[in-house]
Amino acid sequence: MKIFLCDNRLGGLLGFRGDVINHLLKQGYAVTLVAPDVCTEWDKIGKEDIKDVNIKYVNMRPNSLNPIWDILLFLQYFTLFRKEKPDVVINYTIKPNIYSSFAADLNNCNTICMVAGLGYMFKGNSILKRFGRWLYKKGLSKAIKVFTLNQENHKILIEQKIVNSEKLILLHGGEGVNLSKYKYTNSDFSSKTTFLMISRILYDKGYSEFVEAAKTIKQEYKDFVSFELLGPTAYDSPMGVRKEEFEKDMNSDTVKYLGVTDNVPLYLGRTNVVMVLPSYSEGLSRSLMEACAMGRPVIASNIPGCKETVEDGKNGYLIEPRSSESLVKKIEEFLKLDETKKREMGRQSRIIAEKKFDVNHVISEYDKIINGCKNKN
């Protein structure tokens, strides 16, 4: 059985769905990854951990609104599927959910889609955005099942009649995390506390709020705290932090930039880390799930996709999105806790991860759908 997985970045497949891919390979399926032919350092992460997988490249402009590029993308998918004849096509992110789904349907492939988050297309009511939502609806209509990662997005897709409710599957624990890889370690904040943000360097991940909070906190707690940022830059994205601004911030000694890595546990496993994500929009944040699994306290935005990882005051704190003041307040609140309470927050994070975020729950959902396709064929 041939299974194709399509995403707008190779790194999205290798980094976020590596456990699912390895499981499918162990089941004896022929697995092919389809992604743009742009290969950054982030896109290479996880490649060494996945063997015997094919990779096919397409020419995609993920952030372009030019219809010519989108038509060309559809034709590439169509030609690829016509030649390779996959049994199942699994799509992630907006453009694959639309154009790969159309191409798969015309080639009689079973299609599964994942809505990781409802982004800019669902904000506002311009003609362009209404057309985008119509296209998205048409693309998702070709799928036999559609995964969602949080209750709010699930509800919107039903209320706006984007997807038939019978097709929708809510993954309550998002895409899950490998609890064996992200092992629990006790916290120790007896010396210095590191506030770590793991994400692409985008404004809508709360980059500006994180930097502003770091500046404020360091005025009073300079000898007791550090702020670090881990993740790829995104200068090509409309929401990417501008290169000049980013380099100026990183050279100011306010935040330390760690670059990109294929070993996130190395950084999250440090016992003095608090995970911070002041994001504006998420499906269900992988970095927050990973932090919970390793027993790190969490400070995150009170929005769908983040709030599922935080029991406010128990394993961390929820903050107002787009508010550096709210972030500063909760960082100070954490710093003033006694050591026992700080460690208990880390322990509660692991309990939440074990209860909600085990990747094996997600894998079982994939298996059910794929086995249904095998029986149908």
Residue among 233, 174, 159 at smallest CA distance from 363: 174
- Whole-number pLDDT of residue 118: 79
- 265 close to 287: Cβ distance less than 8 angstroms: no
Q: Is the pLDDT of residue 51 over 80?
A: no
Q: What is the arithmetic mean of pLDDT over 222-248?
A: 94
Per-residue confidence (pLDDT) for residue 119, from 0 to 100: 65
* pLDDT exceeds cutoff 80 at 50: no
User: Do residues 214 and 195 touch, judged by C-beta distance below 8 A?
Assistant: yes
- Lowest model confidence (mean pLDDT) among 11-20, 194-203, 350-359: 11-20
Residue 153 lies in a domain: yes
The 10s digit of each residue's pLDDT in 260-285 is: 998 999 999 999 999 999 999 998 99
Same domain, 167 and 209: no
217 and 272 in a single domain? The answer is: yes
**Rounded mean pLDDT of 96-118?**
95
Q: What is the pLDDT of residues 279-304, one digit of tens each?
A: 999 989 999 999 999 999 999 999 99
* pLDDT at site 63: 78
257 and 236 assigned to the same domain: yes
Number of residues that this document lists for the chain? 377
- Return d(Cα 145, Cα 164) in angstroms, integer: 10
Q: 193-198 and 30-36 as β-strands: parallel, antiparallel, unpaired?
A: unpaired
Helix (H, G, I), strand (E, B) or coil at 94: helix
Q: What is the pLDDT of residues 21-35, one digit of tens each?
A: 999 999 999 999 999
Has residue 29 been placed in a domain?
yes
pLDDT band at 15 (very low <50, low <70, confident <90, very high): confident
Based on its alpha-carbon atoms, the radius of gyration of the chain, rounded to whole angstroms, reads: 21
What's the distance, Cα to Cα, between the start and end of the chain in Å?
A: 10
Q: Is the pLDDT confidence value at 108 over 70?
A: yes
- Is 208 part of any domain? yes
147 assigned to some structural domain: yes
Which residue type, as a one-letter code, is found at position 308? E
- Shared domain for 271 and 202, answered yes or no, is yes
Residue 187 has pLDDT above 90, yes or no: yes
Same-domain check for residues 77 and 110? yes
- Same domain for 100 and 248, yes or no, is no
User: Domain containing 91 — which CATH number?
Assistant: 3.40.50.2000
Separation CA 318–CA 331 (nearest Å): 11
Pairing of strands 225-230, 30-36: unpaired
Same domain? For 300 and 344 the reply is yes
Asked whether residue 183 is assigned to any structural domain, the reply reads: no
Tell me what pLDDT residue 202 has: 96
Examine the domain organization and report whether 289 and 343 are in the same domain: yes
- On whether residue 221 sits in a domain, the answer given is yes
**188: which strand partners?**
none
| Strands laid side by side in the 316-319 sheet | 256-259, 225-230, 193-198, 273-277, 298-301, 316-319
What distance lies between CA 117 and its chain's CA centroid? 9
- DSSP lists the bridge partners of residue 115 as 148
The verdict on residue 164 lying in a domain is yes
Is the pLDDT at 47 greater than 60, yes or no? Answer: no
* Six token digits for residue 129: 């955005």
Any idea what DSSP says for residue 315? Answer: T
Asked, for residue 131, whether it belongs to a domain, the answer is: yes
16 plus 75 within the same structural domain: yes
The structural domain count of the chain equals 2
Strand partners, 97: none
Residue-wise pLDDT for 310-333, tens only, equals 999 999 999 999 999 999 999 999
Asked whether residue 128 falls in the same domain as residue 222, the answer is no
Please indicate, yes or no, whether residues 123 and 208 belong to a single structural domain of this protein: no
- Residue ranges making up the domain that contains 145: 2-176+358-376
Q: 263 and 206, same structural domain? A: yes
